A and B are shown apart, each in its own frame.
Chain A
């Protein structure tokens, strides 16, 4: 395998409770806006804080609209030379739930609209992609999708890759995380001593990658690192061994030194176990030379299978704007050994490490770099 093509990010777009596009999202992060909603009617008798997109949001309509905008703004006329990678943890579960709760049986559930492939299925009916694949590794789905995009571009298999991470708010995930007692009733507080859980969210992250630099290229996806914890189905090991391994693998893949990382966009879900393990992994890997660290999930919530794409977009914005995004809702830091910013910081950024960790100890980290 001799090819060594690069993976350049030439376009991105996003929608979440944090903002209607990448610009708005990054601005809201830097202004530390409160974007998480306290919802009383999702779980009976209990308030939960969720990341709901305002107004009447339909994921499939939004995806179609956003893909058409991509075609208008990019250097391609259609998707016939584009490989589509969908990332989602629940796919069409939201649709199946509505039918099952209405009918009380499965008879009217169309499996094409139920599965993870439901998103690609809808898009294939509108656009003519070269081919597609859908990934579902829970909360690392989109990071794994971006990692695979980098691999196929690097190996010269495809020249354009469209990665879409998409997640809806489903009863299965909200009640499921509630059963694990990791849902907060307030906007989450990553890396705060008093953090009490996460905010499940809906959202879309769209990242278009090409093997050549265009007029709109500012960021390269330079490295990807995978690992498995081999420890527990839902809890990370306290020392964060799997997370550390994935970060190291990503840095090695990018062929840079760890002291070249300027900023880590952390997974930072604000659960007790996850934040502790991630901070321990960062401290262990970077030793005395730890980059700035923040979690942006206090603004976006945890968009699960879409999170890796949305956070790659935030990381790209940080590089383009030269601003390290702050932690929000952070009052009492869990450590003073890691520089957890509480205000945005203007700084030239060459490399960002974006972390994603998931159920089953599935880990994927990405290194994004400035194209200059």
Chain B
């Protein structure tokens, strides 16, 4: 079964590391919340702002989750240090959308999926099926791999920070992007590479229609 999705709006961050400055201070007025937010949470909050998030259901997808806080916890454990409660609350995969629900005061469904190498592709499938209900769905694909000693396990991925948000709805229009044309780019993590492919094939000035096989 194929479901066509119109991309109503989208935006993304693609960076080699996590040093770029974000607009978090303007978007999150509460300093207590802002200071606790993870990098991926800040990316997601800003993307939601940029795509004019308006209380839609959100599907968040990440292959590796909160790597930074997970590694901080492991390093605390191996050195017999105390585990920070903030690190622990920030270690779950749904951390970015939880902060987002608080900041945007949304009581809507917020789902997190994590499917290894195929995460972003499967996230589009889940979003397409959810969108059959007729409402707009926001899909976010995000992986932040820029942590200390990442080179111990990574020597191919160049862009260690990727976050993209898509506002989607089911469409009867003909597809403009064929997912079957997907070609892997090794400079990106496999977990987000399908989203990267779609972004690189979308046109800002035209309607972008994706055809998703579920």
Chain A positions near chain B (C-beta within 8 angstroms): 1, 44, 89, 91, 93, 96-97, 100-101, 104-107, 109, 111-112, 115-118, 120-121, 131-138, 144, 148, 151-152, 155, 157, 171-172, 175-180, 226-234, 241-242, 245, 358-362
Contact = CB atoms under 8 A, between A and B. Distances in A.
Contact of B64 (A115, A134, A152, A180): A115
A233 B108 contact: no
Contacts of A1: 132-134
A233 B99 contact: yes
B11 to A, nearest CB: 22
> Which 10 pairs of residues, A with B, have the shortest CB-CB distance?
A360-B98, A117-B116, A176-B88, A226-B109, A116-B114, A136-B93, A228-B101, A106-B152, A179-B83, A138-B92
Interface of B: 1, 36, 57, 63-65, 70, 73-74, 76-78, 80, 82-85, 87-95, 97-99, 101-102, 104-117, 119, 122, 125-126, 129-130, 132-134, 149-150, 152-153, 214
A115 B92 contact: no
A209 to B, nearest CB: 15
18 contacts: A100-B78, A105-B149, A111-B116, A117-B114, A117-B115, A137-B94, A137-B112, A138-B93, A152-B129, A157-B1, A172-B88, A179-B85, A226-B111, A230-B106, A232-B102, A233-B89, A233-B95, A361-B102
A175 B108 contact: no
A181 to B, nearest CB: 8
Given A172-B91, A360-B101, A179 B115 contact: no
**Among B114, B134, B152, residue most surrounded by chain A Cβ atoms (within 10 Å):** B114
Q: Is the interface of B mostly helix, strand, loop or mixed?
A: mixed
Contact of A115 (B36, B63, B98, B149): B63
Contacts, number: 176
Tell me which of A111, A177, A226 has the highest count of chain B C-beta atoms within 10 A of its own C-beta: A111
A230 B94 contact: no
Contacts of B90: 233
Given A144-B111, A226-B57, 5 more contacts: A155-B129, A157-B129, A172-B70, A228-B109, A230-B107
Contacts of A100: 74, 78
A98 to B, nearest CB: 11
A360 B95 contact: yes
A228 B77 contact: no
B83 A133 contact: no
Contacts of B113: 133-136
Given A116-B93, A172-B74, A179 B153 contact: no
Contacts of A233: 36, 89-90, 95, 98-99, 102
A361 B153 contact: no
